[in-house]
Structure 1
């Protein structure tokens, strides 16, 4: 087996093979034992391994690219064949590792089946399993017709799924652990279909279960990957395949705990898988294939004239995601960002489009790049002349919301210190107000604080752009545009980075504010 040491995000060094070491699933020593002590020593006289063609003098001359396909991009036989053709095209340029999500909607069906089983409705759960079987069989048949090669669907996994659902039904209990196991079957079914399609088209491919190398914590439903333990495993599992010209298709979304239980990576978990693989392999890029052209300058439902943003910086993408942009779930791709690996968002239904590249370097254009917004919020205000010059008021506000687990979307404080405004989800309104009233009950009795008030529904609108930094007159243009639209601004916040100006408005004015602000966006 080839063992690889990391030299950083752009280079890999190959060591001598370790004799007597078993690979994942080969039996022998436990993986962790093999990484310690005796398992880490080279054997005397060991021969150098045959290096993959992508290596030269111990370094990769053609860095790997990671391509992840979402559920809509794998939703049918036609889409799976299209995805395989895109992978073949990419593999002609550089080695490729693919990450497969479940076929669109399958994870929801599996979770619904788990809920039915928990209620004792095993027959309904089994009907859902039959629907999943039929869908994958139809996909396999369609792939066979499209490629002219027989592609079979292996039903063996569905027996394991049926066993899990029967256990839930018998116990009338659906633990987070078994929920992760049941929801993992979507990716475990789709990855072999994608790999078989590639084989049918003439590209050597192999489906790889990510549980063989993605080690996570025990937090079911939103597990965090242990990169120190996972990265070497990823390289050992995937680099030899890539070096032989085999295109690995990895199951997204899933991992395993140290105790060997199946875990899932939470929201946008397949994006997380792709980012983790990209980081471990020093990838040239991570491409996320979806059903939209990329990141737009505004929500096209609110601004029909919104245009595609060809480049974004990591900071801009983070701001846009936080303030409502849905294309990229920023926390999911942090492993790739930590290694400065570019993320490319492309449309698998229109692959000729350039998409959006998110990297450390964004556009050099000045001014506002995009407008985003979040509806369904509440503005909570603390008012009182007695707050002026009193240290710790804001800290107590944040301590209170932290104890409740309430996310503060925006915070604003008057320079006179007589008013503090915070924006929270409207669903958290009642308990946040009650907690703040309790926290400041003494100040209310003494008159230092007049009271705690709440207004809803509120929306937050944000202007985003690295080019706003140091550009004179940006704030004036932003608020002049909003004023011309007749929109009243309830609260304002701007970070010292100057790449975001956010403000609160009545939710009824949200669309007007977004459209007005989009008029000052710098065109591509």
Structure 2
């Protein structure tokens, strides 16, 4: 059985957490592939220091002392004596290169994209070297050699074909020892320049490796016990979800659950490789299994929320033409890089609404007015209005539309508690029923909806 284990920044952030990583990996019966992030919080510090250096400030030298000490302390505490000198030499070489990049930035007073990508890569390059040396019977594998990207509309995206080929060449199966690689980092397939996989990049690295090697299981080790029925900081009765489908996990995360970043799990989703979410700090907890065979379809699986939301409502006769207004609104948003995460179908008042991040609200309003200017002039659209400071609460569960009347019961429950529902969407997805309400009411709304779905 081949497992790929991914450990995030909090899991590799301290000596104590790394001891847990060591116990988890060395407790496996057969060798596995281990993907690690940079030490917790380091990536943000690398970026902040690069920006400071590019402004001509020389405080990067003080920051480098802190970064060096943090890595040295971990090596001192966890790497066996016979391997320490070799590991310190490798990490020193990387730290020296990093300091040179910072020095260069103070001279040119610019921060080119490719230089920033190289700067942030040092986190995973160092952590993976240390973790490989910390573990017994483990080898280090440089992700820059086999995770390849290509340019797509000025973004770096994984070259799936080439990356799969190189992964298969890099990891000979069956494994004879644990294999450790850094997540997130990559190189351009044409230029060889260092790039990265962006948000959720370490999860994506692990998923690419798992998919290429047809692994039996991808384990994502983090600092929570798994997916929960809602945010436990808000809902005291929130409980662990023992199993769920890929679609449910992606929907919950799209609507605010921060366990995984949905696009990163597509490679294993398409290969039907199960994912298990586990807690590095509570390794005996059963976690959440994500697969294509989750039981209990037709029931609510979880409730999540998105804050800082804007909603744009278009009123008039055209709003009744769902196909046209939906297509044109979506295309206008897509052309301008605006993510729409909710569509409320027209009501009896002939109103069509879409919701997006509040940071994109003004731009979205401008583009929709431009797109529908002929209809505004002709009177087919009477108004296009934006409302800010909203939240979306989503109830997620595959086949949830078979729970007849759920949307109506949610609205009735909220309005019975004087929580105004601005919009409801229950037609676009078989997996999600979502409502829009004022952000000031989101905590109350979450508690009411969670009680309706899981308590009453």
Question: Could you tell me which residue of structure 1 aligns to residue 95 of structure 2?
Answer: 158
Question: Could you tell me which residue of structure 2 aligns to residue 217 of structure 1?
Answer: 150
| Residue 357 of structure 2 is aligned to residue 425 of structure 1 | yes
CA distance in 2 between counterparts of 1:269 and 1:277 reads 12
CA distance in 1 between counterparts of 2:144 and 2:402 reads 47
| Residue 71 of structure 2 is aligned to residue 133 of structure 1 | no
Question: Could you tell me which residue of structure 2 aligns to residue 370 of structure 1?
Answer: 302
In structure 2, do the counterparts of structure 1 residues 515 and 221 end up closer, same or farther at CA, with 3 Å as the change threshold?
farther
| Residue 122 of structure 2 is aligned to residue 185 of structure 1 | yes
**Larger helix percent:** 2
CA distance in 2 between counterparts of 1:77 and 1:425 reads 38
Question: Could you tell me which residue of structure 1 aligns to residue 26 of structure 2?
Answer: 88
* DSSP 3-state at the match of 1:520: helix
| Residue 231 of structure 2 is aligned to residue 231 of structure 1 | no
CA distance in 2 between counterparts of 1:220 and 1:443 reads 32
Q: Give a deviation string over 1:117-141, Cα, whole Å, max 9, x none.
A: 21112x3122222211110001111
Question: Could you tell me which residue of structure 1 aligns to residue 234 of structure 2?
Answer: 302
Question: Could you tell me which residue of structure 2 aligns to residue 519 of structure 1?
Answer: 451
Match of 2:59 among 105, 124, 142: 124
How many matched pairs? Answer: 450
CA distance in 2 between counterparts of 1:421 and 1:111 reads 38
Question: Could you tell me which residue of structure 1 aligns to residue 105 of structure 2?
Answer: 168
Tell me the CA shift for residue 391 of structure 1: 7.1
Q: Give a deviation string over 1:311-332, Cα, whole Å, max 9, x none.
A: 1101101110111110111111
In structure 2, do the counterparts of structure 1 residues 229 and 67 end up closer, same or farther at CA, with 3 Å as the change threshold?
same
In structure 2, do the counterparts of structure 1 residues 235 and 387 end up closer, same or farther at CA, with 3 Å as the change threshold?
closer
Question: Could you tell me which residue of structure 2 aligns to residue 99 of structure 1?
Answer: 35
Question: Could you tell me which residue of structure 1 aligns to residue 45 of structure 2?
Answer: 109
5+ residue gaps, structure 2, are none
Match of 1:252 among 180, 183, 195: 183
Task: Assess if the C-alpha contact under 8 Å between 2:343 and 2:428 holds in 1.
Answer: no
Question: Could you tell me which residue of structure 2 aligns to residue 50 of structure 1?
Answer: none
In structure 2, do the counterparts of structure 1 residues 390 and 124 end up closer, same or farther at CA, with 3 Å as the change threshold?
closer
Q: Give a deviation string over 1:493-514, Cα, whole Å, max 9, x none.
A: 1245532111111112211111
CA distance in 2 between counterparts of 1:256 and 1:320 reads 31
Match of 2:14 among 76, 94, 114: 76
Report which stretch shifted further, 293-302 or 361-370.
361-370
CA distance in 2 between counterparts of 1:267 and 1:75 reads 18
* DSSP 3-state at the match of 1:169: helix
Q: What TM-score do the two structures reach when normalised by structure 1?
A: 0.81
In structure 2, do the counterparts of structure 1 residues 366 and 408 end up closer, same or farther at CA, with 3 Å as the change threshold?
closer
Task: Assess if the C-alpha contact under 8 Å between 2:298 and 2:402 holds in 1.
Answer: no
The structure number with the bigger radius of gyration is 1
Please tell me the root mean square deviation across aligned C-alpha atoms, in Å.
2.2
Task: Assess if the C-alpha contact under 8 Å between 2:297 and 2:400 holds in 1.
Answer: no
CA distance in 1 between counterparts of 2:215 and 2:320 reads 53
Q: Give a deviation string over 1:174-204, Cα, whole Å, max 9, x none.
A: 1111111110000111111111111xxxx21
Structure 1 outlier segments of 4+, above 4 Å: 147-150, 219-222, 386-391
Tell me the CA shift for residue 376 of structure 1: 0.9
Tell me the CA shift for residue 478 of structure 1: 2.9
Q: What TM-score do the two structures reach when normalised by structure 2?
A: 0.93
In structure 2, do the counterparts of structure 1 residues 441 and 223 end up closer, same or farther at CA, with 3 Å as the change threshold?
closer
Tell me the CA shift for residue 432 of structure 1: 2.3
